[in-house]
Every structure is written in structure tokens, then in C-alpha cells.
Structure 1
Amino acid sequence: MLTETIIETRAGDWIVPQNWARFTSEEHRVWDVLFARQQAALRGRAVVEFFQGLDVLHLSKPGIPDFDELNERLFARTGWEVVSVPGLVPDEVFFAHLSRRRFPAGNFIRGTDSLDYIEQPDVFHDVFGHVPLLALPAVADFMQAMGEAGLAAMEAGALHRLARLYWYSVEFGLAREAGATRIYGAGLLSSFGESRFALESETPRRARFDLGRVLRTPYRSDAFQRDYFILDRLDDLPRLLDAVDLAALYRELEALPDLSL
């Protein structure tokens, strides 16, 4: 994801073979525990579209999805595929993959001692958190546009702005649904603790989604969020990048201070 830390240097697109057969029975068990626990926890907390897309993960084999089988189903729906990478990848590689309708997923899973938290996104976060909504055409198109916007932001020297948009929407976004606030961001969908915290704790600030405010709000990747932004409805997500001159907005915001954490 968005980071300046590169865990190792690789050429090209950083794609590696998934080699599904090398995952151990214990690693598959961790996936199954996380999947069952999180699916139950998200009832009444996640947007209905997540559960509609979740069907793409109900595959013929238990445990960590075999990407060959997963991609057959996902590509048939939206033209996306999941590619295996060793871990965090450079920003330009990440956004290039998105722009080509490929989602990079870490080729490892957390241990039984880290079920509730892992510093680097693993295959559970990347696949359970992101793929169900990638099975929906409107979100799939938005994610491709996000990849293109990320590459453009790098050219403009404004990656930190676009990273905030990605963070507060794709990863930690909330949306109104049937009169209630629901989760759609992958970082929340895959987190047992923060999926509750984001909706139920009195600690964080929750505000209606405003693009200018989002681009001025820093975030932390090592703790639960202090701020969450709420779309009026999930249908607004694909339109966040429509008819917006991001380059002009970046220039306008240069004269304004960041909003404090």
C-alpha cells in the first residue's frame, strides 16, 4: 500500500507466484478463523454491497483462496484480478497495478498470535477486505481511476494528498445506508477491533465526506483512526474522482495548513 518502506528490491511489477500448495494447514486454518469471525462481526456493520460481493470468495477449497480460481470468478465480473506480491510494494508499482485492474495481495498470512493486528497488510486484509467490493462494477471502475490518479499525483508531487483520499475512502471509509452508518473501507472490513471502534466508540471524530477536508487531514497507520469520513451513500464513491480537477485542488491546498490529528 502507500508507504515509503520497501521490504526488498525487485524489478518490474513485483509479482511473484502465489504457489498456493506451499501454504500449510495452519495457515489455511488462520484464514478460516479470520473469515468466519469477521463475516459474523460485520453483520449490521458493513454495507450490503460487501455481502453481495463476498460471494466471490466462497470458493471450492477451504482456507486461503487460490488466486487462479479466485481470478476466474473476479475477472468474469469486473475484469479485475488479484496478483501475488511479497509484501509492501513501491507506490508507483501499486498504482500502476490498480490502473491495469490488478490488485496486489501480500503472499503471506498472519500467525495465530496476531489475529487481531498485523503491521503489514497480509493476504487476509488484501483479499477479504478489498476483493468483495472489486466484484462490483462501479467500485471496480473507481479503483482503476484511483490507480490513474495515484500515478498523476506522483507526477505532480502531491502523492500525500491522494494517499489521504485513498486512506479515508478505500481503506477506512464509512457510508450511510438505510439511516445508519456502515463500513465499506477494507482496513475496517478486515479488522475485528476497528470495525467496532469506527462505528461505536465515542473517541474518533466522524464527519460528512468533504474532499477538501479529506486532502488536508493526515492519518496514522499504526493506530486506530482519529477521523472517519462518511459518504451519504456508497453510490457516491465512484463519483469522488468524476469532474474533479485534482491537480488544481492540490495547488489550491498548498496555501492551507493541514488539519491536526
Structure 2
Amino acid sequence: MVDETHVLDRPPAGANPDWTIPQDWESFTPAEHAVWDTLYERQMKLLPGRASAAFLRGLDALRLSERGIPNFEELSDRLEALTGWRVVAVPGLVPDDVFFDHMANRRFVAGNFIRRPDQLDYLQEPDVFHDVFGHVPMLADPVFADYLAAYGRGGLRALKLGALKQLARLYWYTVEFGLIEEADGLRIYGSGIVSSSAESVFALDSDSPNRIRFDMKRVMRTDYRIDDFQQSYFVIPSFDELLRQTVETDFAPLYDEILPLPSHPVDAIVAGDDVLTRGTQAYALSKA
């Protein structure tokens, strides 16, 4: 269930025109800090050997093991010294143009609230744990940091070209739910996986989902769902290759090509796919 407090159509009273607000870190209660600590400790029992090396390096570099919800000013100072990014607080979900503009200028927007203790396993809208624990460690990696800034610039262009849905799929299947091939096997880097105890296991261990090598055009034609585990994951060979494809692709003719084409279902294997794991879709079938 979405807490409508955090789904807004205009900046609330006290917010800046760019939707940013003071984090007001001192106002978080001991109970709220305890929720962060519970979530952090639970994830860190799972992620070594599952999360990408870049994500784990980012946790260490940004000192996210310190207890309690991070202070954004202190966190941003560490992050800016590494890759030029800062973390800014917002009251909830922000409009697309605001989101992309912040990203293009190396500002990562983070929700300024944390889920309740009875919402540990699932929250539909992103809170501070999803945004900071899930996303920010990857921003300490210079290559991924450049990718996300390029994505922000691309998002502003996609709005003008009427291709937001197609570009959103790229974000979903990389930034939120991406897998990467490393020397020791597949690893997770997408924030929606690394911040979820259940999907951290499902994404790598379950025989239900497809795991398909990343292809830009394929990804941008593929539907996704927000209310359950993924039925397909796309696997990049490296962050360098993800960045290269992003900055070297002329998206305008790509949009012209794919906009008239039908979308691929979330569970589809299509001609040309380089399939690492053909999923049984048993989990999806069991939920139907």
C-alpha cells in the first residue's frame, strides 16, 4: 500500500522550487534510526558474495556501516570528494523533469522518511533506506556515477521526444534491477535488489526468472512490473560497457525505430536474446 503522504503533485509548504527540503536529521526518532539499523544488518548478512564489488566498495568508502540514518551533509561531503555527486532530501516522489534535472547535475534525490517497522519487507514508494542504502554506494563508483549523470541528461531529452516510457525501462533494468557478470559469477547492483532481503536471494538463486545478456534496444522494448519479483533480469558485462553504450548511442533515431514497435512481455524470450538462464517462471505462475 502506498502512503499517499509521499506521493505529491506539487512541492509542499517549506520545499524549495526544485523540491528539495532540509533533511532535518535531528528530527529522526530513535525508533526510526532503529528501523535503518535493522534493515542494514539484515542486508549485510546477505550481500557479501552476492552484491557487486563496486557496491560493497561504496558502502565502505561512504561509511554507511555507521549506525542510524545517515546525515546527508556528511554523506554528501564524502561522496562529492569521490565522484562529484551530492544527496539531497525531497519529501517524496518528484516529477520526472525535476528528477532528471537533479540527476544531470549530480544531485541524487532521496526520500526524507523511513518505512514503519511493519513495512520492513515491502514499501511501494522509495524511502530513505531504498534511496541511500540501495542507490548511493554505486554513486561512489566513478564509471557508474558518470552513467547516472548521462541518464539524467538523456531523461530531459526523452521528455521532449515523447520516449519517457522507453527510457524508464533502461533505468528499471539497470539502476533498479540490474545484474553484472564478475569474475566469480553473477552479482547484483540494482538498488531494488540490494535493498530487498527476499529479492537479493531470488535474483541470483531462483530458477524462475530469465537472465539475459544486456542489449539496449531489447531492454527499452521490455515491459516491467513494480509489484512483484522480476520475471527477467538483464546482465551487463561491466559498468564501462554500460556507460559506453549510453554515451555512444544516438537515442533520437533509436526512439524513432522502437516507438512504433510492440513491447516485449516481462517474461519473454525473443529472437536474438543471449540467454544465460531460461527461467521456469514457476514463481510467476504460482502467483497468477
Partner of 2:89: 84
Cα distance in structure 2, aligned partners of 1:6 and 1:153:
23
Cα distance in structure 2, aligned partners of 1:260 and 1:61:
42
Cα distance in structure 2, aligned partners of 1:238 and 1:103:
18
Partner of 1:9: 10
Partner of 2:250: 245
- Does residue 131 of the first structure (1) align with residue 131 of the second (2)? no
Aligned positions of 1:170-185 closer than 5 A: 170-185=175-190
| AA aligned opposite 2:146 | D
Cα distance in structure 2, aligned partners of 1:195 and 1:24:
28
Cα distance in structure 2, aligned partners of 1:38 and 1:60:
11
Aligned residue pairs: how many? 257
Query: CA contact under 8 A between 2:150 and 2:247: conserved in structure 1?
Result: no
Deviation at 1:179, TM superposition (A): 4.3
Partner of 2:58: 53
1:213 to 207, 213, 218: 218
Deviation at 1:254, TM superposition (A): 2.4
Task: Provide structure 1 residue ranges, at least 5 long, that are not aligned to the other structure.
Answer: none
Aligned positions of 1:198-237 closer than 5 A: 198-237=203-242
Larger Rg over CA atoms: 2
Deviation at 1:57, TM superposition (A): 3.6
Deviation at 1:245, TM superposition (A): 0.9
3-state DSSP of counterpart to 1:193? helix
Query: CA contact under 8 A between 1:59 and 1:69: conserved in structure 2?
Result: no
TM-score (norm 1): 0.94
Single out whichever of 26-35 and 234-243 deviates more from structure 2: 234-243
Deviation at 1:233, TM superposition (A): 2.6
Query: CA contact under 8 A between 1:6 and 1:90: conserved in structure 2?
Result: no
Partner of 1:33: 38
Cα distance in structure 1, aligned partners of 2:66 and 2:212:
41
Cα distance in structure 2, aligned partners of 1:8 and 1:44:
40
Deviation at 1:133, TM superposition (A): 1.1
Q: Deviation per CA, 1:153-201, whole angstroms, max 9, x where unpaired?
A: 0000000010000110011000101141110111111111111111111
Q: Deviation per CA, 1:88-131, whole angstroms, max 9, x where unpaired?
A: 11111101100010000000001111111111100000000111
Cα distance in structure 1, aligned partners of 2:240 and 2:42:
27
- Does residue 145 of the first structure (1) align with residue 146 of the second (2)? no
Query: CA contact under 8 A between 1:174 and 1:230: conserved in structure 2?
Result: yes
Task: Provide structure 2 residue ranges, at least 5 long, that are not aligned to the other structure.
Answer: 1-5, 267-288
Identity of aligned residues (%): 55
| AA aligned opposite 1:9 | R
Task: List 4+ stretches of structure 1 deviating above 6 A.
Answer: none
Cα distance in structure 2, aligned partners of 1:159 and 1:228:
20
Deviation at 1:8, TM superposition (A): 4.0
Query: CA contact under 8 A between 2:62 and 2:79: conserved in structure 1?
Result: no
3-state DSSP of counterpart to 1:225? coil
Query: CA contact under 8 A between 1:57 and 1:65: conserved in structure 2?
Result: no
